[in-house]
């Protein structure tokens, strides 16, 4: 069974940093692109970032470019999202999701992790 388990969320002050992790199991992690999608409280879904299977290509939404860094460790089956210069509008549940392909494009998302809540507030 494919499983994605996020961790690392919490309360952080504006301007602070946080690193999210996503531990993957049940599939060959190094063969698939991985993605982060977030959902602000009571709002819809926003595509945040993606990384190709070998880590050679990355994508960032304009809203997080220059502040967030996605990475992966295929030896540990783990995906990361390093978030810095956090703002109140970054408050959301962050989901780790798997795509069906090695590359960044043409991906639907299945499955989704349970999500980890990031709250940016003073």
| Residues 6+ away with beta carbon under 8 Å from 37 | 45, 46, 47, 48, 94, 95, 97, 109, 112
Q: CB-wise, 9 or 115, nearer to another protein?
A: 115
Q: How far is the CB of 13 from another protein (least distance, A)?
A: 27
Note the residues at the interface with another protein (CB under 8 A).
44-47, 59, 61, 95, 104-115
Q: CB-wise, 75 or 108, nearer to another protein?
A: 108
**Are 101 and 33 spatial neighbours (Cβ–Cβ below 8 Å)?**
yes
Q: CB-wise, 27 or 45, nearer to another protein?
A: 45
Q: How far is the CB of 61 from another protein (least distance, A)?
A: 6
Concatenated DSSP letters for 56-91?
--EEE-TTTTTTEEEEEETTTTEEEEEE-S--GGG-
Q: How far is the CB of 15 from another protein (least distance, A)?
A: 26
């Amino acid at each position: 069974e494919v499983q994605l388990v996020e961790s690392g969320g919490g309360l952080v002050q504006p301007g602070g940093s946080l690193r999210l992790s996503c531990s993957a199991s049940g599939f060959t992690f190094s063969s698939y692109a991985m993605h982060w999608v977030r959902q602000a409280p009571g709002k819809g879904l926003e595509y945040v970032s993606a990384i190709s299977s070998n880590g050679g290509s990355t994508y960032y939404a304009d809203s997080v470019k220059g502040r967030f860094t996605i990475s992966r460790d295929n030896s540990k089956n783990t995906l990361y999202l390093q978030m810095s210069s956090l703002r109140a509008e970054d408050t959301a549940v962050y989901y780790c999701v798997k795509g069906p392909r090695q590359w960044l494009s043409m991906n639907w998302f299945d499955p989704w992790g349970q999500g980890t809540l990031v709250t940016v507030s003073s």
